Amino acid sequence: MKVIKIGGGCLKGKKNIGHILELIGKRGRGNIFVVSALNGVTDILIDGMSKALEDEGNIPGIISRLKSKHVLIARHLISADKFYKKFVRDLSRTLSEIERLYYGLNFTRELTPRMRDVISSFGERFTVELLVSALRCRGVKATYRMPHKVGLLTDGKFGDATVNLRKTRRNLQTHLGPLLKEKMILFIPGFFGVSEEGDITTFGRGGSDYSAAVLAGAMQADILEIWKDVPGYLSADPKFVPEAQLIPILSYDEAAELSYFGAKILHPRTVEPLRTAKLNIAIKNTINPDAPGSLITPGSPRSKNFIKSVAHDTDIGILKVHSSGVGARPGVLALVAGQLTESGINIKSVVTSQTCISLLLELKDLESGHLALKSLRPRPFRRLEKIEDMSLISIVGEGIVKGKGIAARCFTAVAGCNVNVEMISFGPSRVALYFLVRNRDLKNAVSAIHSTFFSVPTHQ
């Protein structure tokens, strides 16, 4: 049995979705599909919340956008009147539930984390209803189960929930096992679960990958397949490096590092539920489903030159906290990190020296992070600096920390194109080396490193 996750990126346009439906019909019997919202739908739901707060007059427009997005696809894929009408009826019922939630928001003037999670979870629910109706209309046996009805249990942390794997395994085996025996095509919406208190809790943006991994681990699947609109992991971003190569095989840790800072192919926590079962993950391209793609395994053969990929992330904002002796004075880091966490800001990474703590944030959080730290009393720092025009480069590969001369080769390449390296982190991760460069130097640095390590194709 396979668990197959279908990403929102490929659930786009009636032609593509029609093609995916055919693939499901051909390869789906007895397997579990975990699906994302149709492309753009989660964004509409989330933007809708601030629009609804602003003015209730915005609400009908949001609802009709959601409706027309799904109806347009349904009209194309569900040809029989009976099935089409039922789909539209169910859709309208769910939409009026969402409409009530938006009016509630406007009335109470308050967007709670609970409300945010409930509203953003609806996209995935629409997708399962759409795909199941379309398959049934073609005479294919398909059904779905909602995560909150089958006990996909979380720790209750809104927006960033973690699954209780032990209890969830038991619940899912009870509820889903019999359906699989009947060789059904079974759909589960990704992205959310339910807390012990009965609240819908999401796993953060892109969290359907994590849902799929939970299902694969809990149901002891043979493999987790992730269907996407890209061929797999590449040795660099092809926009910068046109000769970038597909990475045929990589380890859990390499994939996790690349998910965090580099190519956003997977949700960073996808490998967690798979570690004990040691399941493999195959990244498949829906446009070319028989191509090998990338395979992620618990360990992976070390590549000859150690490096699998040169990734980069431009969504980086840096807060530099200058204070003498931060390395020796206890508590400064805890104070600063505590203040950011309280303001709901996620710290992507930290680099410290004796005189400065550098906090890497998402760009969107830089301004509010800066304000949050400025308001700390008494001030635990001398000066606060905010930097927005930098990007992070990471070179990733098993054994990179042990391989001799890798850092030297990397920085020689960067220096060779006259690029200044601003901050380096090497060692905290066993499989990655990180550093920062100015945005204007990013492209040159990435392609120089790539040609140093990949000029001969040795990473097979």
Residues within the interface to ligand ASP (CB under 6 A): 8, 36-37, 42, 123, 190-191, 205-208
Of 225 and 441, nearer to ligand ASP (C-beta) is 225
For residue 206, state whether it binds Mg ion (rule: CB under 5 A). yes
Of 191 and 454, nearer to ligand ASP (C-beta) is 191
Select from 22-30, 205-213, 341-349, 379-387 the region that touches Mg ion (CB under 5 A): 205-213
Distance in angstroms (rounded) separating the CA atoms of residues 424 and 100: 50
The item of Mg ion, ligand ASP, none sharing an interface with residue 190, based on CB under 5 to 8 Å by kind, is: ligand ASP
- Peptide linkage before 380 cis (omega within 30 of 0): no
Query: What is the number of residues in the chain?
Result: 460
Task: Tell me how far, at minimum, the Cβ of 11 lies from Mg ion, in Å.
Answer: 11
Of 65 and 86, nearer to ligand ASP (C-beta) is 65
Task: Tell me how far, at minimum, the Cβ of 307 lies from Mg ion, in Å.
Answer: 25
Q: Residue 350: which H helix or E strand, with range?
A: strand 347-352
Task: Tell me how far, at minimum, the Cβ of 160 lies from ligand ASP, in Å.
Answer: 12
Nearest to 151 by CA among 172, 122, 124, 174: 172
State the alpha helices, DSSP H only, in 78-194. 81-108, 113-120, 122-137, 165-181
Distance in angstroms (rounded) separating the CA atoms of residues 254 and 386: 30
Task: Tell me how far, at minimum, the Cβ of 210 lies from ligand ASP, in Å.
Answer: 8
Task: Tell me how far, at minimum, the Cβ of 75 lies from ligand ASP, in Å.
Answer: 23
Strand partners, 34: 5, 188
Of 121 and 195, nearer to Mg ion (C-beta) is 121
Distance in angstroms (rounded) separating the CA atoms of residues 444 and 437: 10
Identify the three-state secondary structure at position 208.
Answer: helix
What is the pairing mode between strands 347-352 and 294-297?
unpaired
Of 268 and 369, nearer to Mg ion (C-beta) is 268
Task: Tell me how far, at minimum, the Cβ of 7 lies from Mg ion, in Å.
Answer: 5
Of 232 and 397, nearer to ligand ASP (C-beta) is 232
Nearest to 43 by CA among 88, 9, 20, 90: 9
Report the amino acid identity of residue 183.
K
Angle between helices 59-77 and 122-137 (to 10 degrees): 20
For residue 268, state whether it binds Mg ion (rule: CB under 5 A). no
The item of Mg ion, ligand ASP, none sharing an interface with residue 191, based on CB under 5 to 8 Å by kind, is: ligand ASP
Task: Tell me how far, at minimum, the Cβ of 222 lies from Mg ion, in Å.
Answer: 22
From first CA to last CA, the distance across the chain in angstroms is 29
What is the pairing mode between strands 142-144 and 185-189?
parallel
Of 10 and 390, nearer to ligand ASP (C-beta) is 10
The size of the interface with Mg ion (CB under 5 A), counted in residues, is 2
Angle between helices 208-218 and 165-181 (to 10 degrees): 70
Of 207 and 397, nearer to Mg ion (C-beta) is 207
Which residue matches tokens 């304000």? 371
For residue 48, state whether it binds Mg ion (rule: CB under 5 A). no
Q: Do 115 and 126 touch, CB atoms closer than 8 A?
A: no
Select from 4-12, 123-131, 242-250, 417-425 the region that touches Mg ion (CB under 5 A): 4-12
Identify the three-state secondary structure at position 78.
Answer: coil
Select from 25-33, 200-208, 297-305, 401-409 the region that touches Mg ion (CB under 5 A): 200-208
Nearest to 336 by CA among 385, 379, 367, 366: 379
Q: Do 320 and 388 touch, CB atoms closer than 8 A?
A: no
Supply 301's token pair: 């053969």
Judged by CB under 5 A, the chain residues 340 through 369 that form the site for Mg ion are none
Q: Do 139 and 82 touch, CB atoms closer than 8 A?
A: no
Of 195 and 211, nearer to Mg ion (C-beta) is 211
Q: Do 195 and 160 touch, CB atoms closer than 8 A?
A: no
Of 191 and 435, nearer to ligand ASP (C-beta) is 191
Binding site for Mg ion (CB under 5 A): 7, 206
